[in-house]
């Protein structure tokens, strides 16, 4: 694969010669843009399996591993091949409006339901169950009742360990802090509720964010779109 053997110098040179209003990459094509310096100081994405590698290889790039596609100052990057089709529809809509984009989607037998900020995968569901019983108890409760108090102190107290030990367990099992894990689960729960048609305020309470504004800030920071934009994804593919 491209990311395993490095980006050919000829390709890097070709990218640097491009002069265009927009520059687009699909999947691991982001590595070519990064190698050419195009993504320095920009947000970008790639296939989720390669996102960590992209971030490590090019620390000047703000990698968004969850996003289907990302736009930053005229440079568009997308996840896998199917995400490239979502991005193409978004560009059609950007240039020619939603009606034509919907017509193209129908002709391609595609659903106009995935804005760029939608997650490539449900991160908490990709994590294997922990080996340590105390940690299993904690994460099972977080998943079952995300609206409870899941601060590090509360979780540690429930299973009788110190906050420091709990943090070590999360780092060892998930390479995440307890707070980051809880946020992922709550965001996943929020997305499911929004998918089902629940309002933003109701979703915020049920998913454990407390207020609609807290959910909005977290959602935008993680996915690049607001909860209301995400909820309206069947209407538009807009980049946002």
pTM: 0.51
pLDDT tens figures, 164-194: 999 999 998 888 899 999 998 999 889 888 8
d(CA 89, CA 80) in angstroms, rounded, equals 15
- Burial of 116: CB neighbours in 10 Å, binned 0-12, 13-18, 19+: buried
Q: Where are the domains of the chain?
A: 2-107, 123-231
Low-confidence ranges of the chain (pLDDT < 50): 1-5, 111-113, 121-126, 234-240
Helix/strand/coil for 77:
strand
pLDDT tens figures, 104-134: 877 765 544 455 555 554 444 445 668 788 9
Residue 20's pLDDT is what? 92
Residue 122's pLDDT is what? 42
Is residue 71 within 8 Å of residue 64, measured between CB atoms?
no
* Helix-helix angle 163-174:152-159, to 10 degrees: 100
Residue 119's pLDDT is what? 52
CATH of region 123-231: 1.10.10.60
Query: Check: CATH 3.90.470.20 for 2-107?
Result: no
Residue 98's pLDDT is what? 78
Buried b (16+ CB within 10 A) or exposed e, 30-66: bbbbbbbebbeebbbbbbbebbebbbebbeebebbbb
Residue 110's pLDDT is what? 56
Residue 130's pLDDT is what? 81
Residue 80's pLDDT is what? 81
């Amino acid at each position: 694969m491209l990311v395993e053997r490095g980006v050919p110098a000829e390709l890097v040179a070709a990218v640097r010669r491009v002069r265009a209003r927009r520059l687009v990459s699909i999947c691991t094509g982001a590595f070519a843009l990064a190698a050419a310096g195009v993504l320095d100081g920009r947000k970008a994405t790639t296939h989720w399996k390669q996102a960590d590698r992209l971030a490590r290889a090019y620390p000047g790039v703000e990698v968004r591993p969850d996003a289907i596609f990302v736009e930053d100052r005229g440079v568009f990057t997308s996840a896998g091949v199917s995400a490239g089709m979502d991005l193409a529809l978004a560009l059609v809509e950007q240039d020619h409006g939603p009606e034509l984009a919907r017509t193209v989607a129908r002709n391609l037998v595609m659903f106009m339901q995935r804005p760029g900020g939608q997650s490539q995968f449900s991160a908490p569901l990709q994590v294997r169950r922990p080996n340590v019983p105390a940690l299993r108890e904690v994460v099972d409760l977080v998943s079952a009742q995300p609206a409870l108090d899941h601060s590090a102190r509360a979780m540690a107290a429930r299973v009788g360990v110190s906050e420091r030990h709990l943090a070590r367990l999360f780092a060892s099992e998930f390479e995440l802090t307890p707070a980051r894990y809880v946020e992922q689960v709550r965001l996943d729960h929020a997305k499911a509720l929004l998918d089902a048609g629940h309002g933003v305020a109701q979703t915020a309470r049920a998913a454990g964010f407390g207020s609609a504004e807290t959910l909005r800030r977290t959602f935008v920071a993680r996915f690049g779109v607001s909860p209301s934009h995400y909820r309206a994804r069947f209407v538009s593919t807009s980049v946002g």
